[in-house]
């Protein structure tokens, strides 16, 4: 048996999808490993027709059978390309960072239909000529999304899907999709709804001028259906009882249909009514080499820990743990601590800085491991594969390791014997895969943790070692309460909460009544003689004369006076800070927090001393990078943290900031890691989906169903696709898998052009988005103006305006503009990015609704609107 049980032998299944059939029905195109392949209509050996970087999808053969159009991200965005099947020439037709989803060809093979989100809100339907040019908007509705547009055989109408849910989501949909037809001319208001069923209706394909094929889940199973343009005569033409139907293509004469059956391609004979799976032979040319060497010098955001002695750092990257000195002038080649294709995480330093404990899921579920730096030996401390574990933490005296077990109890590992025992039971924890869920008391006798009660209120609880009952520390009545920090002097606990607002605040609970502070005592202390214990310096060994570190101050027992705890909770920050507690200084006098006091989240410090509790916060950092994993050195004179994924430290409280330059190297094997990524995603849903019954699915069976597909994929994008299909089995919202991308940013002017004029190469402004770049200038562009050039480059029928706006957000450009028959004038504008234009478009939509209500009610009704559910939206409302 393999050391890693998840790596059992699995017969790989090639992940083939997105088929189309040639007009004469003799050839089938499909996608495999991000390339487009061709195979005979009855199956056999397939051959690729596109290769190279990027991922190609959604191929469609032109009606004249000479070209193939498809969507590809080979240039960073999802753009439309056309491949000439005779010459192998490849042409790019679109240039847009928001993505373009190919739909279909015009009957004369001259125009391409596609869906794109270019107005900043929902998607619309566009067309572009085979010779190029700026895409022309055919139809869009800012309230809904249109996709999968296809021309009718005579080119006079377009069928499309309205408000389609993600294709991977299976089962009844909260927002049904329908198929509509509209006139092909831009601006047409000739609409017809072609489907009557309230559910999933997608992937329309015309049979003739009067009927379409499409996929529907009527009856609870996805099948291919047909129906008339008036919604009549709807009937299923396939009778699949299991599996999925994700897309279809049809031959020009309507004799054959090819069906995407999720990693299988089926062909349906419309004359006989029979469906059969194609046997396709693929000899892959792996796009991903078996192993690549990667070097990480930044982006170390997994985790970061300073050793208790302040001399060493531990950090995580790409699921592995590395260590390095805490100070080093040159770039340091970090020492690799772990080495497996699985994820090692949630590390914790032993208080003597000689070993670390951490989690590894190489055995299926997480197990607690320990690594000794002196011997370079790794030991497994837990062996219960039925339980999932999180957050191992050494006690300050090093005698125990506490960890969360199955998100409902905390267990203890006795370091001397290795014995594992229950401690905290019956809890429902609000965290997973994080290091911020609980904290030890400095005397190693108590633990504080955040957990939910039967009302789903989250509060802090404490429990002593050796005791079986927890006691509440806070009595809050909202959901937010997390990241408890026990002060080094043991006298109070700091935590973060959203008790009163959705923005974070920091609270403090004093474990005993705080005695009054007399500032007059500060003057009297000036006349006291300094004791030997307070003198700075080092102890000397009388035998060898060498200096040794002073013995640590003896830890005083922590005492908790439970009576009156409610009255001893206080908020340290207002909601406007949106603050989170990060670290308490060793002398318990200062708290470092992360807050948005100046708009950008940065580190700040506030005093925890009673006499200074009203002092304003003082800035610690002033950079744009994400701040996380904050640690004080043992003497409190240095502060370590991650800033934008880089290890950073500075003298505290004031001093120079430096970067610790480290280099972490490893070999990454995609074909090994892909299975682990799949397992990790599956486990995450297994353990933390809100419904333990997983919406009635057999979640173990789901894992086995998709595992052969994982074994057969060759590229990262296909892994993402399979993860989406897997979570789609739950038929739940707010689920999905996304990956990193290399999108090219486009500039947005906020102009929309008359589609009829645009077809003739004339850029006549039809509408201007309010407050957009072309309106917010001294000499604004107005409706009816004609755009002549961008930065001196003329615009005509074959120019693509979007290509001229690449990489332009925030940069000054010059536009040549003419009004009526006047002379050309030049205006300078600064295009916006996609996010900014989307906000403007949304606000403009609200203005439109306000004006509409005002108009139709003759001023008797008002219109109110709240954009989303955040505090900022509430304040704006």
Kindly give, in sequence order, each residue whose CB lies less than 8 Å from that of residue 9, ignoring residues fewer than 6 positions away: none
Gap between the Cα atoms of 738 and 740, Å rounded: 7
pLDDT at 271 over 80: yes
Kindly give, in sequence order, each residue whose CB lies less than 8 Å from that of residue 877, ignoring residues fewer than 6 positions away: 864, 865, 866, 867
Mean pLDDT of 603-607: 97
Mean pLDDT, the chain, integer: 90
Portion of the chain with pLDDT greater than 70, in percent: 93
Residue with tokens 């191929």: 59
Q: What is the DSSP letter of 727?
A: H
What is the β-pairing status of strands 56-61 and 67-72?
Answer: antiparallel
pLDDT, position 58: 95
Q: Is 771 exposed, middle or buried (0-12, 13-18, 19+ CB in 10 A)?
A: middle
pLDDT, position 366: 93
Least confident of 87-96, 299-308, 391-400, 541-550: 541-550
Confidence of residue 70 (pLDDT cuts 50, 70, 90): very high
pLDDT at 552 over 80: no
DSSP 461-484: EEEETT----EES----SS-EEEE
Q: What are the two backbone dihedrals, phi and then psi, of residue 849, each rounded to the nearest 5 degrees?
A: -65, -40
Gap between the Cα atoms of 349 and 335, Å rounded: 16
pTM to 2 decimals? 0.89
pLDDT, position 516: 80
Mean pLDDT of 709-731: 94
Nearest to 311 by CA among 370, 357, 353: 353
Mean pLDDT of 451-457: 83
Confidence of residue 411 (pLDDT cuts 50, 70, 90): very high
Most confident of 206-210, 738-742, 854-858, 871-875: 854-858
pLDDT, position 120: 65
Q: What are the two backbone dihedrals, phi and then psi, of residue 658, each rounded to the nearest 5 degrees?
A: -130, 160
Q: Is 820 exposed, middle or buried (0-12, 13-18, 19+ CB in 10 A)?
A: exposed
Gap between the Cα atoms of 647 and 322, Å rounded: 13
Mean pLDDT of 36-53: 94
| CA distance to 102, 103, 211, 465, per residue, from 115 (Å) | 7, 7, 22, 62
Mean pLDDT of 631-656: 95
pLDDT at 549 over 80: no
Strand, coil or helix: what is 7?
A: helix
pLDDT, position 532: 52
| CA distance to 452, 471, 473, per residue, from 568 (Å) | 21, 16, 10
Least confident of 553-557, 698-702, 708-712, 820-824: 553-557
pLDDT, position 518: 74
Q: Are 49 and 68 in contact, with CB atoms under 8 Å apart?
A: yes
Structure tokens at 598: 């100046």
Nearest to 574 by CA among 522, 516, 609, 616: 616
pLDDT, position 744: 74
Mean pLDDT of 473-488: 86
Q: Is 177 exposed, middle or buried (0-12, 13-18, 19+ CB in 10 A)?
A: buried
Q: Taking the mean position of all CA atoms in its chain, how far away is CA 331? A: 31
pLDDT, position 204: 96
Nearest to 557 by CA among 395, 443, 399: 443
Mean pLDDT of 469-489: 88
**Residue range 694-706, pLDDT digits in tens:** 999 999 999 999 9
Residue with tokens 């800085």: 353
pLDDT, position 538: 45
Confidence of residue 741 (pLDDT cuts 50, 70, 90): low
pLDDT at 236 over 70: yes
pLDDT, position 498: 81
Beta-strand ranges (E) seen in 375-519 are: 377-380, 389-394, 400-405, 409-414, 420-424, 428-429, 438-440, 446-452, 458-464, 471-472, 481-486, 492-497, 505-510
Least confident of 193-202, 348-357, 739-748, 817-826: 739-748
Portion of the chain with pLDDT greater than 90, in percent: 70
Confidence of residue 527 (pLDDT cuts 50, 70, 90): confident
**Residue range 663-701, pLDDT digits in tens:** 999 999 998 899 999 999 999 999 889 899 999 999 999
pLDDT at 542 over 50: no
pLDDT, position 443: 97
């Amino acid at each position: 048996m393999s050391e890693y049980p998840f790596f059992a032998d699995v017969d790989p299944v090639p992940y083939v999808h997105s088929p189309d059939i040639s007009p004469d029905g003799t050839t089938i195109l499909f996608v495999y490993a991000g390339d487009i392949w061709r195979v005979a209509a009855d199956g056999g050996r397939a051959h690729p027709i596109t290769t190279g970087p990027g991922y190609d999808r959604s191929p469609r053969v032109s009606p004249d059978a000479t070209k193939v159009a498809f969507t590809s991200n080979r240039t960073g965005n999802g753009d439309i390309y056309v491949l000439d099947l005779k010459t192998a020439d490849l042409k790019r037709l679109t240039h847009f960072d928001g993505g373009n989803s190919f739909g279909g060809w015009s009957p004369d093979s001259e125009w391409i239909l596609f869906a794109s989100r270019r107005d900043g809100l929902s998607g619309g339907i566009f067309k572009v000529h085979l010779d190029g040019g700026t895409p022309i908007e055919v139809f869009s509705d800012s309230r809904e999304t249109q996709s999968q547009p296809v021309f009718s055989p005579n080119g006079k109408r377009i069928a499309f899907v309205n408000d389609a849910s993600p294709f991977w989501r299976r089962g009844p949909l909260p927002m049904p999709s329908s198929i509509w037809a509209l006139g092909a001319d831009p601006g047409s208001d000739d609409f017809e709804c072609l489907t009557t069923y309230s559910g999933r209706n997608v992937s329309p394909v015309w049979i003739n001028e009067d009927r379409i094929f499409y996929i529907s889940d009527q009856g609870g199973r996805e099948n291919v259906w047909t129906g008339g343009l008036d919604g009549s005569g709807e009937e299923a033409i396939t009778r699949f009882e299991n599996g999925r139907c994700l897309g279809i293509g049809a031959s020009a004469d309507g004799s054959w249909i090819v069906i995407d059956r999720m990693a299988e391609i089926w062909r349906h004979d419309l004359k006989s009514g029979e469906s059969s799976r194609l046997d396709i032979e693929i000899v892959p040319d792996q796009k991903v080499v078996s192993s690549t060497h990667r070097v990480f010098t930044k982006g170390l955001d997994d985790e970061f820990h300073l050793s208790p002695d302040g001399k060493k750092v531990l950090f995580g990257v790409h699921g592995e743990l590395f260590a390095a000195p805490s100070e080093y002038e040159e770039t340091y080649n970090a020492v690799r601590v772990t080495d497996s294709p699985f994820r090692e995480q949630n590390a914790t330093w032993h208080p003597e800085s000689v070993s670390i404990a951490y989690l590894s899921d190489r055995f299926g579920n997480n197990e607690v491991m320990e690594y000794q730096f002196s011997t370079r030996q790794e030991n497994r401390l837990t062996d219960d594969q039925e339980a999932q574990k999180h957050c191992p933490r050494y006690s300050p005296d090093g005698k125990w390791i506490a960890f969360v077990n199955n998100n409902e109890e905390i267990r203890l590992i006795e370091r001397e014997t290795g014995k594992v025992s229950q401690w905290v039971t019956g809890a429902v924890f609000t965290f997973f895969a994080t290091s911020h869920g609980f904290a030890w008391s400095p005397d190693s006798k108590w633990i504080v943790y955040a957990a939910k009660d039967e009302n789903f209120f989250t509060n802090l609880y404490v429990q002593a070692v050796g005791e079986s009952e927890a006691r509440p520390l806070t009595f809050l009545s909202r959901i937010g309460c997390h990241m408890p920090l026990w002060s080094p002097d043991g006298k109070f606990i700091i935590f973060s909460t959203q008790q009163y607002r959705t923005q974070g605040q920091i609270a403090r609970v004093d474990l005993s009544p705080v005695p009054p502070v007399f500032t007059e005592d500060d003057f009297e202390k000036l006349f006291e003689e300094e004791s030997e214990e307070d003198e700075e310096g080092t102890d000397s060994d009388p035998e060898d004369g060498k200096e040794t570190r002073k013995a640590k101050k003896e830890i005083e027992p922590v005492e908790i006076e439970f009576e009156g705890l409610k009255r001893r909770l206080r908020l340290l920050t207002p909601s406007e800070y949106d603050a989170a507690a990060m670290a308490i200084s060793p002398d318990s006098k200062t708290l470092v927090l992360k807050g948005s006091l100046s708009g950008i989240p940065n580190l700040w410090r506030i005093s925890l001393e009673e006499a200074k509790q009203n002092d304003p916060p003082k800035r610690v950092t002033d950079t744009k990078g994400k701040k996380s994993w904050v640690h004080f050195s043992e003497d409190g004179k240095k502060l370590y943290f991650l800033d934008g994924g880089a290890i950073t430290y500075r003298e505290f409280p004031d001093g120079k900031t430096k970067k610790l330059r480290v280099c972490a190297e490893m070999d990454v094997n995609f074909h090994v890691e892909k299975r682990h990524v799949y397992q990790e995603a599956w486990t995450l849903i297994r353990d933390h989906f809100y419904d333990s019954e997983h919406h009635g699915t057999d979640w173990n069976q789901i894992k086995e169903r998709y595992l052969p597909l994982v074994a057969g994929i060759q590229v990262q994008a296909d892994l993402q696709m399979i993860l989406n299909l897997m979570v789609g089995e739950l038929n739940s919202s707010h689920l999905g898998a996304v990956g990193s991308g290399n999108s090219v940013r486009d500039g947005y002017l906020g102009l929309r052009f008359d589609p009829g004029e645009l077809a003739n190469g004339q850029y006549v402004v039809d509408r201007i988005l309010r407050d957009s770049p072309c309106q917010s200038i001294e000499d604004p562009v107005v409706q009816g103006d004609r755009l002549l050039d961008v930065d001196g480059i003329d615009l005509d029928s074959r120019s693509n305006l979007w290509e001229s706006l690449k990489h332009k957000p925030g940069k000054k450009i010059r536009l040549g503009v003419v009004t009526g028959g006047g002379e050309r004038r030049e205006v300078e504008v600064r295009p916006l990015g996609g996010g900014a234009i989307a906000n403007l478009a949304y606000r403009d939509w609200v203005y439109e609704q306000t004006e509409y209500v005002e108009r139709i009610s003759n001023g008797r009704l008002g219109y109110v609107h709240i954009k989303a559910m955040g505090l900022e939206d509430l304040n704006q409302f």
